[in-house]
Structure 1
Amino acid sequence: MTVNLHTAGPDGRHAITASISLSKIAHGFLSILARFGAKAKSALKALQMARMLSTLSNMSDHQLAQIGIQRSDIPKYAETLMADE
């Protein structure tokens, strides 16, 4: 489907016609949404990682030992948990 936009000058003699394909508009819009979605997903994952690192870092050594990790293992453990999502 094609949309035609007609614009006439003040004297009515000059008409400009612009044809824009709706499929091109839709494709462009979906492309923008996909890029936004990818960036949002990346930002959310970074936020989740930061919160997980903070939570694990605030745990006592005894609590960490109960889940089977040491303080030095926190970054790798957090990455492992995030990889499962």
Structure 2
Amino acid sequence: MTVNSHTGGPDTGHAATASISLSKMAHGFVSMLARIGVKAHSIVKSLQMARMLSTLANMSDHQLAQIGIRRSDIPKYAETLMAEE
């Protein structure tokens, strides 16, 4: 009976394949987490912007004048504040 690498003996081929496969899975998992992190960050920024716009829009014209903006300046002012974070 002949023993070859496909029928018996130490099976280092499968170990190497498993190692490469685990490495690819780990890389894929890390990539997926990075994408989720970017999306989550984007969602949080969008929610913060919406909240800021709502807060500024609910201020009276007198209150807006006290901080130096007009109602028409609200979107640009909110963008400026968000850019500074």
TM-score bucket (shorter structure)? 0.7 to 0.9
Letter in 2 for 1:60: S
> Which runs of 5 or more residues in structure 1 are unaligned?
1-16
Number of equivalent positions:
69
| Residue matched to 1:9 | none
Q: Distance in 1 between matches of 2:26 and 2:84?
A: 34
> Which runs of 5 or more residues in structure 2 are unaligned?
1-13
| Residue matched to 1:38 | 38
Larger-Rg structure = 2
| Residue matched to 2:3 | none
Q: How does 1:1-85 map to 2 (within 5 A)?
A: 19-20=17-18, 21=20, 22-85=22-85
TM-score (norm 2): 0.75
- What is the root-mean-square deviation of aligned Cα atoms in Å? 1.5
* Structure 1 or 2: more helix by fraction: 2
| Residue matched to 2:9 | none
Identity %: 77
* Structure 1 or 2: more strand by fraction: 1
